């Protein structure tokens, strides 16, 4: 009643714990706090009003400029496009060597009455055309085979003999497309068998 006479407000008193009056401890629902200023409260681990999952955040990192993009050479070379290009280049080089070798092994009729330089020119006539033709064919095979094999490896998530067989079958069928269905079937079977033998030999 006396409090009501003084203004109708009751004075705040500490909570009653276990039936007795006691001062609030650190484990109580609330504790007395003084005036808190923004500059006194830390941003990181010293902030008592910050939850644990936000203590490790770095707010200043959002203001930093983004890092410069870097070229990952390993990832670039492991892509299917790069592997197909490398297979095409390797096949072209192999085709040049094979074309020159096969051309020199062909029987030729050389006129011995001519001079040495004329005989050499006559024997190596068509050498460049043979190398170019063989290089183009080998480049097609290497590019298609490497690209298809990479696609099968990505889709099957494995690198084994069946990938080589599937890639060889597709390559043989694509190269024999203009010759008709029977030639495509023969090319598929032949390339698949050859790829399986080579892959098994290389793995073991």
The one-character DSSP state at 89 is H
Could you read off the pLDDT tens digit of each residue along the chain, which spans 204 residues? 444 445 555 555 555 544 444 454 555 555 555 555 555 555 555 666 666 666 666 555 556 677 777 777 777 777 888 899 999 999 999 999 988 888 888 777 767 777 778 877 777 787 888 889 999 999 999 999 999 999 999 888 888 888 999 999 999 998 888 888 899 999 999 999 999 998 888 875
User: Which tokens sit at 53?
Assistant: 């999952």
Record the pTM. Answer: 0.58
Sequence-distant (≥ 6) Cβ neighbours of residue 156 within 8 angstroms: 162, 163
Place of tokens 């203590």: 55
Sequence-distant (≥ 6) Cβ neighbours of residue 151 within 8 angstroms: 80
Distance CA 91, CA 85 (A): 10
* Structural element, H or E, at residue 74: helix 73-77
């Amino acid at each position: 009643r006396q409090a009501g006479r003084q203004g109708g407000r009751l004075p705040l008193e500490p909570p009653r714990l276990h039936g007795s009056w006691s001062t609030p401890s650190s484990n109580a629902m609330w504790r007395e706090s003084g005036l808190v200023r923004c500059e006194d409260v830390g941003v990181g681990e010293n902030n008592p009003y910050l939850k644990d999952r936000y203590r490790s955040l770095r707010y200043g990192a959002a203001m930093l400029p983004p890092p410069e993009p870097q070229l990952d050479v390993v990832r670039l070379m492991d892509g299917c496009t790069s592997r197909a290009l490398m297979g095409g280049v390797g096949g072209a080089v192999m085709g040049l060597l094979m074309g020159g070798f096969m051309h020199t092994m062909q029987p030729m009729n050389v006129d011995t009455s001519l001079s040495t330089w004329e005989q050499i020119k006559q024997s190596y006539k068509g050498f460049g055309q043979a190398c170019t033709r063989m290089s183009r064919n080998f480049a097609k095979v290497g590019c298609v085979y490497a690209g298809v094999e990479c696609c099968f490896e990505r889709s099957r998530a494995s690198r084994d003999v069946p990938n080589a067989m599937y890639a060889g079958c597709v390559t043989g069928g694509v190269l024999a497309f203009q010759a008709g269905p029977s030639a495509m079937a023969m090319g598929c079977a032949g390339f698949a068998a050859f790829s399986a033998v080579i892959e098994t030999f290389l793995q073991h």
